[in-house]
Amino acid sequence: MFCTKCGTQSSGASQYCTNCGEKLILSVTSLQHRDPVMVLIFSIITFGIYGLYWYVKTKLEMNDSGAQIPTAWLIIIPIISIWWTWKFCEGVDQVTDGKMSGPVAFILLFLVGSIGAAIIQSSLNRVAAP
C-alpha cells in the first residue's frame, strides 16, 4: 500500500508510513459490492460451492486492500481451515477498519455459515468503492 502523503510503499502489516509516519489509509477500491441476499441464496442452491467461491474472491480483494490472508486452498484441509477462517476474519477486521471485528466475523461464520457470509458481505459493501 502507498502513503497518501509521500508515496512510499509500505508493507500491508504496518499502519504508519515507514518514511514519513503518516497514518496509512487502506485503499479498498478492489472490494466488490455484492448483494448479501444473493450471497446467501447462491450458497444454499449450490450446496456451499458458491460459499467457497465467495471466500476465494473476497480473500483476493481484501489482500489487494492490504490484508494478508494466506492462500484459500487451506480451507479444504481439516483443522487448518479453522485457522485459515480466523485469518480471513482478521482480514475482514482490517479492511472494514474494525467495523466488523475479526472474532465476531469468525463466530458468525461458524454459527450461521452462509448467513454469516451474507452479514460479512454487507459490512464489506460499506467500505467497497461505490
d(CA 3, CA 14): 11
Binds Zn ion by CB under 5 A, chosen from 1, 11, 12, 19? 19
Rounded to 10 degrees, the C-alpha dihedral 4/32/108/113 comes to -150
Residues 63-102 that bind Zn ion (CB under 5 A): none
Does residue number 109 form part of the binding site for Zn ion (CB under 5 A)? no
Binds Zn ion by CB under 5 A, chosen from 5, 23, 33, 126? 5
Rounded to 10 degrees, the C-alpha dihedral 92/95/98/104 comes to -10
Q: Mark the segment that binds Zn ion (CB under 5 A) among 4-12, 45-53, 62-70, 100-108.
A: 4-12
Does residue number 25 form part of the binding site for Zn ion (CB under 5 A)? no
